[in-house]
Structure 1
Amino acid sequence: MPFDPRTTPLTAVEARVLATLMEKARTVPDSYPLTLNALITGCNQKSSRDPVMEVSDSQAQEALDSLRLRTLTVQISSQRATRWEHNFPRGIGVPDQSAVLLALLMLRGPQTAGELRINSERWHRFADISSVEAFLDELAERSEEKGGPLVVQLPRAPGAREQRWAHLLCGPVDLSAPVAAAAGTRSDALAQRVSELEAQVARLQQQLAHVYEQLGLQESEPQPPM
């Protein structure tokens, strides 16, 4: 039966585990399939992750077992160590290009088509943004018989030129939250920038006052605008 995120959504840890397996399969193929320790390191790395997580051994193992029951991961046992690999494209029923986009959304959070194209360089080289958008549209229009949509386009954030996309593998997305969060982030950034500029102006004023003092001059009063 096709994977349906509406009835059997992934947990946040399951999504991180699955996406990490997909990432390492393409970026470090010599170390793939992954041991449990290598997988946990990948799940908890600070770069290319949003949000940053602290997945424990037990959480990762529980997620792997759950994903295996849904045929999304495969356990490979040997005398040296047990390793794991993903079975995402076949288990979900999507082409490799779509799987790459879904994994990036699971790892890095909502992104625009342009950001996805840039972030996928080490995974798959999309010809242009239009090709990325074509695969996203296909995922957004996934039929009910196949389990329904797997991505959704978020409302355009204030001041943003492009809309971002989010995955639906962990269930429905609050379409108002990303916009509010983005607006809040920009507001915080603007406030910080204003504070930095004010501090810079204050330093320049102090330096100018010092120069006047050294030269024995008096600061001239600002002239009113004509």
Structure 2
Amino acid sequence: MSAPTPFSPASRPLTPNEARVLATLMEKARTVPDSYPMSLNGLLTGCNQKTSREPVMQLSDARAQEALDALKLLSLAFESSGNRTTRWEHNFQRGVGVPEQSAVLLGLLMLRGPQTAGELRINAERWYRFADISSVEAFLDELQERSAEKGGPLVVQLPRAPGAREQRWAHLLCGPVDASSASVHATGGSAMGAAALQARVEVLEFEVASLRTTVQRLCSELGISPDSTPMSPPGQE
């Protein structure tokens, strides 16, 4: 009996909703094993998290269930039996035909968007502990050079974004990646981060100025110079 053909995004790419549902199952299986397999409600909460997600999504029950049904047909997810509430598990490694380390990297890329090898190593801590960045890069290279017989490449290294020190990687499970769009998104994200930092600096500067004004007023009321340092309390010379 021949082995089943691994999932290939070249023939049937995942939709963004399917990728988010699948990657959330993969994440929760490792980070909260007590809650795994997952109910639809638990899965929905994980899919719609505001942290560790890029982009942030707001899936409905119907959309998540639709994605689960599609993943089941692709043999990438399946229902668990023996529970009153239907629970779901992923079948990513076997369905795609990749080792554990590669599955971890692909799951993180689906959840968090394009990342550098260093970022992937840090973000993978709760999933799998890579020895060093070189080992992460080795698995990424393997995924990028995957043969057509195995389903074709599953990641791509993006061009270096303006001002970036390292190149980022993106998954191909949802089909080809628009490198120019990804670069613009990365630049926009950096600009937003810089703007947020500048806003925070301005707030701190305002608070410092307010404190300085308060100190000067108190010193004026006490008849002392803001620069003077009391040597000892009154009456204790």
The answer, yes or no, to whether TM exceeds 0.5 is yes
Tell whether 2:108 aligns with 1:120. no
How many Å separate the matches in 1 of 2:6 and 2:135? Answer: 25
Aligned-pair CA distance for 1:190: 4.2
Matches within 5 A, 1:199-218: 200=205
Aligned to 1:138: 142
Q: Secondary structure at the match of 1:152?
A: strand
- Bigger radius of gyration, 1 or 2? 2
Tell whether 2:101 aligns with 1:97. yes
How many Å separate the matches in 2 of 1:39 and 1:198? Answer: 40
Aligned to 2:226: none
Tell whether 2:88 aligns with 1:76. no
Q: Give the root-mean-square deviation of aligned CA atoms.
A: 2.6
What residue ranges of structure 1 are gaps of 5+ in the alignment?
A: 215-226
Give the fraction of aligned pairs with identical amino acids, expressed as a percent: 69
Aligned-pair CA distance for 1:82: 1.2
Q: Secondary structure at the match of 1:49?
A: coil
1:143-191 Cα deviation digits (max 9, x unpaired): 0111110000111111111111100000110011122222233344445
Counterpart residue identity of residue 133, structure 2: I
Tell whether 2:51 aligns with 1:42. no
Q: Secondary structure at the match of 1:78?
A: coil
Bigger mean CA offset, 93-102 vs 27-36? 27-36
Counterpart residue identity of residue 163, structure 2: G
Aligned to 2:113: 109
Q: 1:176 to 1:74 in 2, by over 3 A?
A: same
How many Å separate the matches in 1 of 2:126 and 2:45? Answer: 19
* 2:28 equivalent among 21, 24, 33: 24
Aligned to 1:53: 57
Paired positions, count: 216
Q: 1:182 to 1:90 in 2, by over 3 A?
A: same
How many Å separate the matches in 1 of 2:35 and 2:70? Answer: 23
Counterpart residue identity of residue 48, structure 1: S
Counterpart residue identity of residue 67, structure 2: A
Aligned to 2:178: 174
Bigger mean CA offset, 107-116 vs 173-182? 173-182
How many Å separate the matches in 1 of 2:185 and 2:92? Answer: 30
Aligned to 2:133: 129
Q: Secondary structure at the match of 1:58?
A: helix
1:56-111 Cα deviation digits (max 9, x unpaired): 11111111111111110111132422111011000000001100000000011111
Aligned-pair CA distance for 1:24: 0.7
How many Å separate the matches in 1 of 2:103 and 2:96? Answer: 9
Aligned to 1:224: none
Bigger mean CA offset, 127-136 vs 179-188? 179-188
How many Å separate the matches in 2 of 1:184 and 1:61? Answer: 33
Aligned to 1:223: none
Aligned-pair CA distance for 1:193: 5.3
Aligned to 2:187: 183
